[in-house]
A and B are shown apart, each in its own frame.
Chain A
Amino acid sequence: MKGTLQVINQMVADGVIDGYVIGGAIAATYYLEPINTSDVGIFFHIAISASGLATLSPLYAYLRERGHEPKDETIEIAGWPVQFLPIFNPLLEEAYQQALKITFQAVPTQIMQTVHLMAIMVQTGRPKDYARLLQFIEADAVDVSTLELVLARHDLSERWKEFLIKFGVTINKKA
């Protein structure tokens, strides 16, 4: 993972991407127990070509030149398949702007905060998102009042309520 992050940081230094934030299972693992995942989710601002089309071509070309080959929907970097995912809505933009700065084996990086990870899970709404939401709640790993503000800001309060009712979840808010 260290080598993977070093390559991604170099992409930022070389101007291939303007920054990034780690999301998905790897970011969730920072707050929970280790989650069995096959790839690293990297959220970034996708480049817009001169014709106005969003394109991954410069990113793929840069990595290919350095020996990192695409594999299915990921690119293999230093032993880890990396999935580059565009920031395409205000919630992802907020998660990017408010990312938590950490280090991994002395390599600086950024991961999403719990409130944004959870709000994205509410928004995406796949069974595995609900399962992970329950893990966050069981681990008491989130400030629910802050989460509810994020959910309200992104019009997700109703979905959150539906989730709580569907799974019979009672939240004890911290004083």
Chain B
Amino acid sequence: MIAPQPLPPAVAELLARQAEYRRRLARLSFEEKIAIIERMRELNTWRKHVEPPHVIKPADDSNH
């Protein structure tokens, strides 16, 4: 089995900050959390129905 490698300090700090952010979200009231989920749902709907599709255009190689 491969021994786990210690994370680079910058990554460890980022993960710690993310965990603290999640703990703060968990301490919100139920009403506040549901309001956040409702915004997430709006965003999901926008992505599905309104957001312009990401089109990758073929490279213009006419000059080559």
Whether A29 and B30, one on each chain, are in contact in the complex, defined by CB atoms closer than 8 angstroms, is yes
| Bound form: Cα–Cα A168–B41 in Å | 33
Beta-carbon contacts under 8 Å, B32-62 to A: 33-34, 36-38, 40-41, 44
Per DSSP, are chain B's interface residues mostly helix, strand or loop, or mixed?
Answer: helix
- Name the one of A31, A104, A138 contacting B31, with C-beta atoms under 8 angstroms: A104
Judge whether A169 is part of the interface by a CB distance below 8 angstroms.
no
Judge whether B23 is part of the interface by a CB distance below 8 angstroms.
yes
Whether B44 and A36, one on each chain, are in contact in the complex, defined by CB atoms closer than 8 angstroms, is yes
| Bound form: Cα–Cα A32–B24 in Å | 10
| Bound form: Cα–Cα A27–B44 in Å | 20
Report how many A-B pairs have Cβ atoms within 8 Å. 41
Judge whether A37 is part of the interface by a CB distance below 8 angstroms.
yes
Judge whether B16 is part of the interface by a CB distance below 8 angstroms.
no
Whole-angstrom distance between the Cβ of B31 and the nearest chain A Cβ? 6
Number of contacting residues on A, CB 8 A?
Answer: 18
Query: Which chain B residue has the least Cβ–Cβ distance from A106?
Result: B31
Can you list 16 A-B pairs with a CB-CB distance of less than 8 A? A1-B34, A1-B38, A26-B37, A29-B33, A31-B26, A32-B26, A33-B22, A34-B37, A34-B40, A35-B37, A36-B37, A36-B44, A102-B30, A104-B30, A104-B34, A138-B19
**14 further interface pairs, Cβ-Cβ under 8 Å (given A26-B37, A33-B33, A35-B37):** A1-B38, A31-B26, A33-B23, A34-B40, A36-B40, A37-B37, A38-B41, A38-B44, A104-B30, A105-B31, A138-B19, A139-B22, A139-B23, A141-B26
Report B's interface with A, CB cutoff 8 A: 19, 22-23, 25-26, 28, 30-31, 33-34, 36-38, 40-41, 44
